[in-house]
A = this chain, B = another copy of it.
Amino acid sequence: MSDPVYKKIEIIGTSTVSVEDAIANGVAAVVTGGEGKADWFEVQEVRGHIANGKPSQYQVVLKVGVHIA
């Protein structure tokens, strides 16, 4: 079988800085996990914590596509 196969892993990256930084943190954790080559991401949901009346943490739910075969 030479047709490529991919897996989607659902991850939540967080950051106190920005949505983009939370995405990068989530992607980095998948890469570290070593399940295959991470090729793309899809944002599912953006949410976060509030502290002292301000957003204190961005939480980005992602699906990360990895090449497995």
B12 to A6, Cβ gap below 8 A? yes
B14 to A29, Cβ gap below 8 A? no
A11-B7, A20-B55 given as contacts; is B38 within 8 A of A50 (CB)?
yes
In the bound assembly, the distance between CA atoms of A2 and B18 in angstroms comes to 15
How many copies of this chain sit in the oligomeric assembly?
Answer: 12
A49 to B55, Cβ gap below 8 A? no
Q: With A1-B28, A5-B13 given, can you name 8 additional A-B contacts, CB distance below 8 Å? A: A6-B12, A7-B10, A10-B63, A19-B20, A29-B68, A31-B53, A41-B47, A41-B55
In the bound assembly, the distance between CA atoms of A26 and B12 in angstroms comes to 20
Q: Considering only CB atoms, which chain B residue lies closest to A15 in the complex?
A: B3
